[in-house]
Structure 1
Amino acid sequence: MNKAHLNKIAVVGGGSWATALVKILCEQPNNRVRWWLRSKADIDHIRNYHHNPRYLSDVYHSPKKVKVYGKIKEAVKAAHYVVLAVPAAFVQEPLQSLKPADLAGKRIVSAIKGMIPEANQLVTDWVEEKFSVSLSDICVIAGPCHAEEVALEKQSYLTIASTNHDCATDFAKLITCRYVTAYPLADLYGVEYAAVMKNIVALACGITHGLGYGDNFQAVMVSNAMLEIRRFVTVVDPREREMSASAYLGDLLVTAYSQFSRNRLFGNMIGRGYSVKAAQLEMKMIAEGYYATKSIHAMNEQYGVTMPITDAVYRILYEGTSPSLVMDELKLQLR
């Protein structure tokens, strides 16, 4: 095979979603993955045994297609695409040694469903600003898709959103395989904000489940949440979009209802009486919705959108208000 025809893709991150993306990308015969991980022990394990020891450990990573790195500059150097798959709260640290020149001419793909804390900034906006990457060379990956089902090769769907149709289409082709269907979409900001906010909704669903609310209430809350997301996204980025599409509603549903949803699990622990700190310590993975709640709540102080579900989750997580009291109040606002 002529190496000039190989698609070189750097994947940044060592968690379950990064591991799943490495698996998907390796299904294409011409793809080669340059995988950066933080942990030297994990790097050594993957090099020796070809499995991630901590996440989706049953997935085999072919050494012919996957090369692991501990230095991010080496990982991205020869890559055509750089896929960011670390929690938004921690994405700045692994990239701090990079300069704009290191990402020049590359397409950046955000697989992060969160916002930069404190800055209350989308990851795509941060990349554009920090590394002078043209927005036309940036796209985002949205679901509905859970890493655990990818590992089992369950039929899954991905949306690749970008302002540049060619960018989205090209990457969608690279990540389509026997069990994953990927398609392009032009709505970069709508997809990204919806992906951030569905994690907040999943937290709310987990909290109500922990409190003993049933399926009837959760169905009403998720329906109201979709309207809430629509209101916010329309104000922040007004344009025509079909919010019942799988990139929006589908991603919301799988995160709100799935047994694999870490945000739902986090919320469930809060509803059952865990403190925020205790729930964070018990979980091995990051619940993006925890940070997203604060960011979206802060942004909405400017926009003033009616967002009772986001406000309820914020009160519970950041003001220490009793979950049962907050949900008793919320149920009177839903229709």
Structure 2
Amino acid sequence: MNKNPKIAVFGGGSWATAIVKMLCENLEQVGWYMRNQSAIDYIKENEHNPNYISSAEFNVNQLNLSSDINKMVKYADILIFAIPSAFVKAELDKIKVDLSSKIVFSAIKGIIPESGLIVGEHFNKKLNIPIENIGVITGPCHAEEVAMERLSYLTIACQDEAKAKILGDCISSNYIKTKISDDIIGTEYAAMLKNIYAIAAGIAHGLGYGDNFQSVLMSNSIREMKRFIKKIHKMKRNINNSAYLGDLLVTGYSIFSRNRMFGNMIGKGYTVKSAMMEMSMIAEGYYAAKSAYLLNEKNNVNTPIINAVYQILYENKNPKTVFKNLTELID
């Protein structure tokens, strides 16, 4: 593979914007697909994204911006998708270009609702992209801290270590450190599950539970995550590594966590609809909770925290009652 690949990012949100910023530290040109042409026009004129982490400034001469997804797929050797999982299929359906020779990395923390698959599996099974050409970019890393150039760590997972290393080199900088992994399934499921646990942490905070309970909740969450991932994809992995435990902790505790914020609003009495309307960004954990719950109906893993979040968000159960019951199921 070319050690100086053309790379394009697909998505116009905060995480897509952060990834473009990271790539611009090392590449002369970065492709950037956004479906919103007015946002592209704004970036070209004002050198920052009008809607997300607007503090991140760009040299527009480095950006190859387009609202034509096929043009951007043709341009790039490596495609990085950072589109919310609920909208991925609609965007993929627009692609008419052959993807078989492309390297695809998912920076999406969720499951494709239409297929019930994590993004990497969806690309492999539905779009016939070879598994060795699929990778995952995972945290712990918040887009807002990337914009502030605060030291952050990313895990790049791919079965083909050389491809992961090439992308890692393109993303690394004085404020971004990267680590390579071959656990593409486990890291992607962890990135999806931690959003559910962050919602749980937010609900607990909104209900008035303190730090003592939060620590027990997080401890149980990482063990529940381990059971869930092990059942789906058994391999040797250390669940205490940054891609699993680290990502869970930052998403569960950070003020930048939209999933924790969403859960906090639910705990304070907002309906799901009203909480979503008030937030300007998507809480991936909302969609992930349903997908994980339905997936676990087949696998039958003990997941009291996922079950509790699902009951509150999709069965309209009372958060106070559900969490009182949950306190008896965790230790």
Q: TM-score, normalised by structure 2?
A: 0.97
Whole-Å separation in 1 of the counterparts to 2:3 and 2:206: 51
Secondary structure of 1:161's partner?
A: strand
Tell me which moved more, 114-123 or 317-326.
114-123
What is the count of residue pairs matched by the alignment? 330
Corresponding position: 1:106 with 2:105: no
Whether the aligned pair in 2 keeps the contact of 1:143 and 1:157 (CA below 8 Å) is yes
1:229 equivalenced with 2:225 (yes/no) = yes
Structure 1 position 96, deviation (Å): 1.2
SS at match of 1:77: helix
Which deviates further from its counterpart, 30-39 or 201-210? 30-39
Aligned match of 1:177 in 152, 164, 173?
A: 173
**Cα deviation 1:230-257 (Å, max 9, x = unaligned):** 0011110011110000010000000000
Provide the residue aligned with 1:291 in structure 2.
287
CA distance in 1, matches of 2:8, 2:125: 20
> Could you say which residue in structure 2 is the equivalent of 1:92?
89
Gaps of 5+ in 2: none
Contact kept? 1:34, 1:76, Cα under 8 Å = no
**Normalising by the residue count of structure 1, what TM-score does the alignment of the two structures yield?**
0.96
SS of residue in 1 equivalent to 2:202: helix
Q: Which residue pairs with 1:50 in the alignment?
A: 47
Q: Deviations over 1:77-99 (max 9, x none)?
A: 12111000010110111221213
Equivalent residue for 1:306? 302
Shift of 1:118: 4.2
What RMSD in Å do the two structures reach over aligned CA positions? 1.2
Task: Tell me which moved more, 166-175 or 302-311.
Answer: 166-175
Distance 1:48 1:274 in 2: 38
Partner residue, 1:24: 22
CA distance in 1: counterparts of 2:15 and 2:98, whole angstroms: 24
Cα distance between partner residues in 2 of 1:60 and 1:6: 24
Given that 1:312 and 1:326 are in contact with CA atoms closer than 8 Å, whether structure 2 keeps it comes out as: yes
Q: 2-side partners of 1:268 and 1:23: how far apart?
A: 30
Counterpart in 2 of 1:8? Answer: 6
Counterpart in 2 of 1:269? 265
Is 2:89 the counterpart of 1:70? no
Of the candidates 77, 81, 95, which is equivalent to residue 80 of structure 1? 77
Aligned partner of 2:80: which letter?
A: V
Match of 2:134 in 1: 138
Contact 2:89 2:114 (C-alpha < 8 Å) held by counterparts: no
SS in 1 for 2:238: coil
Letter in 1 for 2:41: D
Deviations 1:128-155 (A, max 9, x none): 1232211101100010000000000000
Distance 1:31 1:172, change over 3 A: farther
SS at 1:64 equivalent: helix
How many Å apart are 1:208 and its aligned residue? 0.5
